[in-house]
Amino acid sequence: MMSVITDNFTKFENYKQLTAFVGFSPRLYQSGTSVKGKGHICKMGKPQIRKLLYLCSWSAKRVNKTCMEMYKRLKEKGKPERVIKIAIANKLIKQIFAIAKNKKYYNENHQSLYCIN
């Protein structure tokens, strides 16, 4: 499905563009210097894909090694469940994009040279 909506990942140069396309990019609400609102996701993207990735995050927190670690870390910090699931969905987008662009199979024990959090 992701390769269909991204034209086999040729529409995007990096994962941030894909995240914005789906509608999971963070959006800050601020008025002037003293009034700061809560941060939310920008829902300008594709709602069907966003919903599907959110549902996938439920399974990923139990099965995907890096998502399990992220879930535990954010839960210990006291983050709400929905915030954690959105963060996991973002992690899934990064993993999908990296796998597609590098044309390699997923390796859960892969150690990257730099951290993509």
Domain ranges of the chain: 2-102
pLDDT of amino acid 77: 93
Amino acid at 35: V
What is the C-alpha separation between 84 and 106, in angstroms, rounded? 22
pTM of the predicted protein model: 0.72
Cβ–Cβ < 8 Å for 88, 67: yes
The backbone torsions φ and ψ at residue 77, rounded to the nearest 5 degrees and listed phi first, read: -75, -10
29-83 pLDDT per residue, tens: 666 666 565 666 666 777 788 888 888 888 888 888 888 999 999 999 999 888 8
Nearby residues of 83 by Cβ (< 8 Å), 6 or more positions away: 74
What is the C-alpha separation between 84 and 82, in angstroms, rounded? 5
